[in-house]
Amino acid sequence: MSVHIANQIIKKEWTDYNNHMNMAYYVLVFDQKWELILEKFKMGEQSAKTTNMSTMVVETYTTYNNEVKEGDEVAINLTFLDHDKKRLHYKMEMIEKSSKKLSATLEMLSLYIDLNKRKVSEFEQEKVKLMDNFINLNKQNFNNDNLLITGKLKK
């Protein structure tokens, strides 16, 4: 159960001498696709540039389940999302499209940051509403089994 974010073709420059995608690029792909979700919540690059408010990752857990190679197409799905006043907790999965095999997962905890002060800040009410609406719309597609980041949200 998940929410599809986007697909990605694995690029040659992301592969290594083992003829599969290098571990660092899994995180890159997840990060680039997560940016699409942040834009929905008005917390992405545009927000950082115009309001000096952004998110910063403080904890991650990555699994590498099955290799992907140059030219493979993967689907990036959001499998979990929750938040408190200052934190986002989310998990994504990468599915290799032709085999439908789980390739990787990434679970993260991010803080909302005032870039002027370089300090943690509370989400504005508008952003809380956007996140809550998204979560309520998609919660039946989320799965909180096997989460490694637990007890960090202050609800």
Q: Is residue 143 part of a domain?
A: no
Q: Is residue 149 part of a domain?
A: no
Q: Is residue 151 part of a domain?
A: no
* Residue labelled with tokens 């590498």: 64
Q: Is residue 146 part of a domain?
A: no
pLDDT at residue 96, rounded to an integer: 97
Q: Is residue 145 part of a domain?
A: no
d(CA 42, CA 73): 28
Confidence of residue 124 (pLDDT cuts 50, 70, 90): very high
Nearest to 144 by CA among 81, 87, 56: 81
Q: Which domain holds residue 80?
A: 3-138
The CATH number assigned to the domain holding 69 equals: 3.10.129.10
- Overall number of domains in the chain: 1
pLDDT at residue 150, rounded to an integer: 87
Q: Where are the beta strands (DSSP E) in the chain?
A: 3-9, 53-64, 73-83, 87-96, 101-114, 119-120
- Under 8 Å between Cβ of 82 and 145: no
For 8-24, what is the mean pLDDT? 96
d(CA 148, CA 108): 9
Provide φ and ψ at 88, rounded to 5°. -120, 135
Q: Is residue 63 part of a domain?
A: yes
For 12-37, what is the mean pLDDT? 96
The Cα-based distances of 108 to 7, 16, 49, 54, 58 in angstroms read 20, 25, 23, 15, 8
pLDDT > 70 fraction of the chain, expressed in percent and rounded: 100
pTM to 2 decimal places: 0.94
Q: Is residue 144 part of a domain?
A: no
Please report which helix (H) or strand (E) contains residue 133, including its range: helix 125-138
pLDDT at residue 138, rounded to an integer: 96
pLDDT at residue 68, rounded to an integer: 97
